[in-house]
Chains A and B, each alone.
Chain A
Amino acid sequence: MESSNFNLDQAILAYIGLIKTQGSLTGSDADELTVHLYDSTETLVKTGLSEQEAFMIACKRIGNVDLLADEYGKVNMSLKHNKIWAYLLIGFNMFYGIPSVVLALISLFYWVIFRYFQTSTVAVLIIVAFHILFITGIFRLLKFKRQISSFIENKVAESPISWIALSFLPTAISMFGIRALNKMISGQSVKYLVQLFESNLVEFSFYLAAMSIPMVALSLIFSINRTGEFKVKSLFDKPSILFLLMFGFVVELLSASTRMLQAHNIVLQAVLFGLFYFAASFLLAYYNRTSSAARAILIFTSIGFFLELTVGIMADMERVNRFYTPFFVTALLANVSIGYLLGLWIFNRSKPTQC
């Protein structure tokens, strides 16, 4: 039975568009398949079928989307290579242009807030809230990884030239717009603008926000071979040594940034320092089994342990008569151990009982 609103032209256009999005068809190939679908449908209509029925049979006869994309892909290899170049160009612009523009806008935001609220509590609250939103937003990007890549893939397949040209826009803005912006804010760096608020909390949240960028980059890189949607488990389950070393470095930077809070009590300072190690150790223990979790924690902790010992002792020597390193190293080891034990305990409690 024919649907009253069936439109053959639109149906053919949609079907060919679907094959085209696979990226292995040239314009001429698409035209040829379109004419084939028209011819096939018209022949079937002459046998007494409705236009919609005829179209459905014609689509079935022409072959499914994947098969056609595969077969065309074999003869249109140059299209595949061109697509790789399109991705390279768009990728360069995305990772250079967009961060530059975002950084400039953040600078402008700091400058505006400082201009209107100076170093007041309102200013501190706005900036800290902004940093928290930034961290949440950047980690949310990982959740939409598949949607973002599908969007880019479709756009490159549909109109590569337009999207390559469009991807240059942030780069162009960052080249010309930032110069004008620098004049406005006297060319001050983001870090300098953050320090204007004279708040340890602002500076600490700024470092957390800055550190979330390499964390997201690590998550993107090390989940590249994993299938399905991004999950925390996919990152921490059976991690590679390279990931553990890099993760260890980022955790150490995050932990070290707690020094910005400048707690009056060194014990409290050390406890704050250890919290990141606790969280990291917990995640590794929770998502891995006993032996591999211990090995993973040992590798990731080694970076921080080594840095705290070397850099810490040098700082202690400069301070004279004030030895903080034992506090930080003890906090590191204690939090890693507690995180490990708690992670395993929860893992063992939550795993299904085996028959």
Chain B
Amino acid sequence: MYIRFMVELNKDFMASALTPLILIILRRQESYGYQIIQDLKEKTGGELNVAEGTLYPVLKKMESKEWIAGEWKKMDSGRARRYYVLTGKGRQELEEQYSQLNFINDLINKLWNLPISTSTRPFSLT
């Protein structure tokens, strides 16, 4: 079955969904805010619609939980960027979230594929 990626994500849903997505991106290599957003857009074929600035408070919250560590690095252009890297605690969190999300995803699929009842009166009071 083909499930289309939701383009307009609810704000609260997006906030909770961003955490595992960021953890997965940082699992590969260190990155910075703008690059993380570009990666997410690229993987969704440009269909992800999120206020880019809201990524940073999420990064900050993850940093306070020590799942990621941030560091300012100066570029050749003279501009400084804050790079984030996954920590050991973050890796552990990612594994937990990954298995939880897979579990929920499987459950949703199972429930979604159940046949829809054709009865017009699902409950009878008599």
Contact = CB atoms under 8 A, between A and B. Distances in A.
Contacts of B28: none
Contact of B53 (A33, A38, A74, A75): A33
A40 interface: yes
Interface hub of B33, B53, B57, B81 (most chain A Cβ within 10 A): B53
B64 to A, nearest CB: 7
A31 B56 CA distance: 11
Contact of A36 (B52, B60, B64): B52
A28 interface: yes
A42 B95 CA distance: 36
A39 B80 CA distance: 11
A28 B82 CA distance: 9
Contact of B57 (A36, A39, A40, A74): A74
A63 B53 CA distance: 6
Interface size class of A (residues with CB under 8 A): 20 to 34
Interface stretch (A64-72, A115-123, A283-291, A302-310): A64-72
B4 interface: no
B79 A32 contact: no
Nearest to B61: A75
Nearest to A74: B57
Which interface class (under 10, 10 to 19, 20 to 34, 35 or more) fits B?
10 to 19
A216 to B, nearest CB: 41
A70 to B, nearest CB: 9
A226 interface: no
A316 to B, nearest CB: 71
B77 to A, nearest CB: 9
Interface string B81-115: 11000000000000000000000000000000000
B81 to A, nearest CB: 6
A64 B56 CA distance: 14
Contact of A68 (B34, B53, B64): B53
A184 interface: no
B51 interface: yes
Contacts of A39: 34
A62 B51 contact: yes
Nearest to B63: A75
A29 interface: yes
A61 B61 CA distance: 21
A56 B52 CA distance: 14
The DSSP consensus for interface residues of chain A is: helix
B57 A71 contact: yes
Contacts of B54: 63, 67-68, 71
Contacts of B56: 29, 32-33, 36, 72
A63 B37 CA distance: 13
Interface string A57-90: 0000111100110011011100000000000000
Contact of A40 (B52, B80, B81): B52
A268 interface: no
A103 interface: no
Interface in B9-65: 32-34, 51-54, 56-57, 60-61, 64
Contacts of A28: 82
Nearest to A71: B57
A35 interface: yes
Contacts of A67: 51, 53-54
A42 to B, nearest CB: 10
B79 A35 contact: yes
Interface of B: 32-34, 51-54, 56-57, 60-61, 64, 79-82
Interface of A: 28-29, 31-33, 35-36, 38-40, 61-64, 67-68, 71-72, 74-76
Complex A-B, nearest 8 residue pairs according to Cβ-Cβ distance, in ascending order: A63-B51, A63-B53, A62-B53, A39-B34, A71-B57, A75-B57, A68-B53, A75-B60
